[in-house]
């Protein structure tokens, strides 16, 4: 995990909205770990709670390109 790095959606490496890619970057793990966890939550929770959590992340986490444009993070090329 990067010190004082904001959590964001990585819209450059996104499959849907970039939530899992952003979480993967923040915690220093492959985004597929979070993607598999999200799919597992979706299947095991009968969809509604998992979809709600994902939608909350989409609505609350800023996009990586927006943070780069504001100068809050450095463009790492990913």
Q: Which domain holds residue 56?
A: 19-70
Q: Give me the number of domains the chain comprises.
A: 1
Instruction: Determine, yes or no, domain membership for 10.
Output: no
Helices (H), 11-73: 19-27, 31-44, 48-60, 64-70
Q: What is the pTM of this model?
A: 0.82
Residue that is written with structure tokens 């993607």 in the block: 35
Non-local (6+) Cβ contacts of 20 within 8 A are 31, 32, 34, 35, 38
Determine the Cα–Cα distance for residues 36 and 12; give it in Å rounded to an integer: 19
pLDDT at 36: 94
pLDDT at 61: 94
- Walking along the chain (78 residues) 10 residues at a time, the average pLDDT comes out as 75 90 92 92 81 92 90 79
pLDDT at 2: 53
């Amino acid at each position: 995990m990067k010190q004082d790095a904001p959590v964001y959606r990585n819209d450059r490496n996104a499959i849907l909205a970039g939530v899992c890619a952003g979480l993967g970057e923040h915690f220093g793990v492959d985004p597929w770990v979070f993607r598999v966890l999200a799919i597992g939550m979706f299947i095991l929770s009968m969809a509604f709670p998992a979809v709600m959590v994902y939608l909350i992340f989409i609505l609350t986490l800023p996009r990586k390109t927006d943070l780069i444009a504001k100068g809050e993070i450095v463009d790492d090329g990913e």
